[in-house]
A and B are shown apart, each in its own frame.
Chain A
Amino acid sequence: MTDKNGNEEYPIGGVILDGGNADGYETGGWRKLKPVLDKEKCTNCLICWVMCPDSAIIVEDGKLVGFDMEHCKGCGICDVECPDKINAIKMVSEEEAD
């Protein structure tokens, strides 16, 4: 939406009227390292899901199925929190992953 001056129309006073709008802000572009999952090792303890600050751990039917790369900032918390004995998540460079 634009106003008569061609500016985008902003809500009065900077009020953001919808909730949960962090979903629309792609923080994936901030990432230097990306998590890679070794499904063989993963026990689906879901500690990573609990600890991920960006809610970027995708879980289906109680199982870790992947990462939301639009929002994963590559912080590596999932790698650190994955129990040492399991070590199913590794942070690798984007090139390395490809």
Chain B
Amino acid sequence: MLEVRWHGRAQQGVVTAAKVLGETCLRSGKYVQAFPEFGPERMGAPVKAYNRVSDEPIKMHCSVANPKYVLIADPTLIGMSLAGGMETSGGVTEGTPEDAVFIVNTPKSPAEMRTALELDGKSAKVFTVDASQISIDKIGRHIPNTPMLGALAKATDMVTLEDLIDDFKVNYAKKYSEAVINGNVEAMKSGYESISEG
């Protein structure tokens, strides 16, 4: 079973990102969970969301304690001791295994982020993608969730970019205008293409 943790701030779309990821994996035949951890529910407040993806039905209903994949939609959460909605949340590296994969939304280099995450000399992988700039360019708003999904498709074999785009087009056609759908699809592609590993 794969476990994923998303860190962001309210209004950055991490809950939706976890939802899209869960739905995409479900469509490819997996058992999934996608759930948020809400705290104060105010714009800018730290928010976490989780995914579990498995070939078997998922029994457990606790929060994800040891995520292999950590996606950080806001780099200012790095180093905070309370990088989630609740007092018991812990920081962005809390509980991560040795082989964890971090994907950070930042214009900075993976090496700089590795240091910021205090992972120098560790075997964890660190990727960066300037998802904020991509979302402003492609969607016209600062919602870095879809470029980060694209980046996840490139960095891991959890999902393919094609499946993500298919799922998004099918499921959000009613909710969003064609322009918004196309913008997000472009943002996913751009996130996929511009991710850096270090």
- A and B: direct contact (Cβ < 8 Å)? no
